[in-house]
Amino acid sequence: MALTMSELNKGDRWLFGGSLALLVLLFLFSLCLGRYPLSLRDLFLVLQGRGAPTQRLIFFGIRLPRTLIALFGGAVLAFTGGIFQVLFRNPLATPDVMGITAGASFGAAAGILWGGSFPLAVPVFAFFGAMAAIVLVLLLSELSGRRDIVTYLVSGIIVSALARGALMLLKYLADPERELAAIEFWTMGSLAKVTAKDLLPTLLPLIAGTVLLLFLGFRILILGLSEDEAQSLGVDAKATRRRIILLVTVLVSTLTALTGPIGFVAIMAPHMARRLCRKGGFAPVVLSCLLGAMLLLAADLAARSLSSHEMPISIFTTLMGAPYLAWILIGRNHGTL
């Protein structure tokens, strides 16, 4: 699957060019802004190895890793959200509906309570919590004897409810002055603790999983058709769907384990891409990834710039996403969208 500018009309070229330019601008803002601001000249000197030691430490140790995670993380959330919307033939479907976020939140809370002095307890517990949730979803679907779309969605709702109930129990058991506050902050999402050591273990799975999903791109589009049409085209719908769900789970749980749950990007970016780019095929997917990266970069900039204290990032993704979905709903009811 590939996209070249020659395949796009003039309007879409302006759309993609403008989106890419805005993404680069947000990327530079993210590198420069923060409690310790860096100018473009500072960035140039640091990249040449001539900046002050403090500037190099902040840039390579904190600012660049955080910006890269926001860039790739937003793109991955948008990409996986678009895949689930095609896979389940539902414009509101996201990885959240399969219990991934709820499982990760329960795992993170368990890591905060019982991780002890293990420094990676929270991300490790969150990752395995998300993986356990999706395994349980697949097991419920298998035990039901029906592995259609509705069964997967209902299984995801059941597992999400169980994970949220278990999370409430852990909150009840947590120390109100220390552990409960940490659990609440984690479940609102933040890039505040991202450092250079997080880049490799996070970006490698994200890139590898994305490449594997790209190889399955044609099959994903076929699964957007009916089960019978997919079978007639030689695609084992049930096996392929499970493979895609597992790959998406690895991507989302890897990111969520580091950042906490980040709402609305996975549903908002694919919607925006389909409305802005009327061309079919792979073009809306690329635009969706650009928009997802922009949304998360913008939300992260707001989270660390609008207050003297770090704010949870999901506050801003929710404030962007909820009005947008309301606008879609009102416009659809009035026949204007």
CA dihedral sign, ordered 298, 301, 305, 307: positive
Average pLDDT, the chain: 85
Number of structural domains found in the chain: 1
Mean pLDDT value of segment 152-160: 89
Q: For the beta carbon of residue 124, count every other beta carbon within 10 angstroms.
A: 16
* Token code pair at residue 82: 């678009």
- pLDDT for position 11: 67
Q: Which of 245, 116, 111, 99 is nearest to 165 (CA)?
A: 99
**pLDDT tens digits, 84-115:** 888 887 777 788 888 888 998 899 899 888 88
pLDDT at 31: 93
Residue 126 pLDDT level (bands cut at 50, 70, 90): confident
Q: Give the pLDDT band of residue 10 (cuts 50, 70, 90).
A: low
In 3D space, the residue among 222, 220, 242 whose CA is nearest the CA of residue 233 turns out to be: 222
Q: What are the pLDDT digits (tens) for 191-204?
A: 988 989 989 989 99
In a domain, 92, yes or no: yes
Supply the pLDDT for residue 291.
95
Pairwise CA distance, residues 188 & 192, whole Å: 12
Q: What is the CATH number of the domain that holds 67?
A: 1.10.3470.10
Domain that holds residue 106: 5-331
User: What kind and span of H or E run contains 33?
Assistant: none
Confidence (pLDDT) at 49:
81
Q: Does the residue 79 lie in any domain?
A: yes
Residue 78 clears pLDDT 70, i.e. is over it:
yes
- The whole-number average pLDDT for the span 8-30 is 85
Task: Please give the pLDDT value at position 13.
Answer: 78
pLDDT digits 0-9 by tens, 234-286: 777 778 888 888 899 889 988 988 898 998 999 899 988 888 876 666 778 88
Residue 42 within a domain: yes
Q: For the chain, state the CA radius of gyration.
A: 20
Q: Does residue 162 fall inside a structural domain?
A: yes
37: in domain: yes
In Å, how far from its chain's centre is CA 318?
13
Give domain status of residue 337, yes or no.
no
Does the CA dihedral 178-179-180-183 come out positive or negative? Answer: positive
